Amino acid sequence: MTRGAKRPAGRPPVSHPCFSHWYPRAEGALERMVGEARRLQNAQAVGRTLIVGAGTGLDVPALGPQVTEVILLEPDAAMRDILRQRYPHLPILPDVAEALTLPPSSVDTAISSLVLCSVGQVPQALRQLARVLRPGGQYLFLEHVSQTGAWGGVQRLLDPLWQRVGAGCHLTRDVAAAIRDSPLALDSVSRVRQGGLVPVIRGRAIKGQPLDGRQESPSAAPGAQ
């Protein structure tokens, strides 16, 4: 954006050149941590699928066969350049999750992988996802979360530094609670990485009513965040 040019309303700047430089180089290590969980998550995607905070596009090859259309959403221009190189055939929206330009009830599945940690306003982003999902549509999430006990203390200590290195990424977010408080109905949540500095959860939330009539799946871990 040139100096003095007006930014579209509701679209805060997202530009992290340092992050977009090192993140693609860390993909191998990242996928050793969450690759299997990502494949399990994305295998559930159906129909018109929105990938929020697509980054370098690691979610794309993990999508299951029931996906009919893919829309990438990535507000960081440097990340969008990588996406365009890797997936020239896919549409890429520059929106932030808090201000989606898609019409209401226009997607069947929304996916976020390691994104809510960096989103500026998580409740607003979840309201927007609920708006663009069709009734009965699903939100699949794979997110790292806050920790209790000694590791929680370490997270709180490192969080300010981590935000600087990780482009606004917070270590201390209670993502499951945010989804429970959102207009979406939490359908399942489970831990895929326990303990340590970066525990990870995976789960599904539904717009309107659960697809299969359940309110909360038996696999939902009560303490999962």
Residues found near ligand SAM in the complex (CB under 6 A): 14, 52-56, 58-59, 74-76, 79, 96-98, 113-115, 118-120
Q: Name the minimum Å distance from CB 16 to ligand SAM.
A: 7
**SS3 state of residue 184:** coil
Instruction: Kindly tell me which of 57 and 137 has the beta carbon lying closer to ligand SAM.
Output: 57
CB 84 within 8 A of CB 129: no
Closest approach of ligand SAM to the CB of residue 24, in Å: 9
- Helix count (H) and strand count (E) of the chain? 6, 7
- Closest CB 38 distance from ligand SAM, rounded Å: 7
Virtual torsion, Cα 142, 76, 110, 46, nearest 10 deg: -100
Nearer CB in complex with ligand SAM: 74/108? 74
Phi, psi for residue 139 in degrees, rounded to 5: -110, 115
Q: Which is nearer to ligand SAM, 17 or 104 (CB)?
A: 17
Give backbone dihedrals phi and psi of 69, rounded to 5 degrees, phi first.
Answer: -155, 140
CB of 214 vs ligand SAM, minimal distance in Å: 27
Whichever of 75 and 203 has its CB closer to ligand SAM, that residue is: 75
The answer to whether the beta carbons of residues 202 and 156 sit under 8 Å apart is no
d(CA 114, CA 148): 19
Give just the sign of the alpha carbon dihedral 132, 134, 136, 138.
negative
Least separation in angstroms between residue 215's CB and ligand SAM is 28
Q: How many CB atoms lie within 10 A of CB 211?
A: 14
Would you say 99 or 211 has its CB closer to ligand SAM?
99
Nearest residue to the partner ligand SAM, using Cβ = 55
Minimal distance in Å, beta carbon 114 to ligand SAM?
Answer: 4
181 contacts 164 by C-beta, under 8 angstroms:
no
CB of 17 to ligand SAM, least distance (A): 11
98 or 187: whose CB is closer to ligand SAM? 98
Give exposure, 186-202, as e/b (b: 16+ Cβ within 10 Å).
bbbbebbeeeeebbbbb
Is the CB of 117 or the CB of 205 nearer to ligand SAM? 117
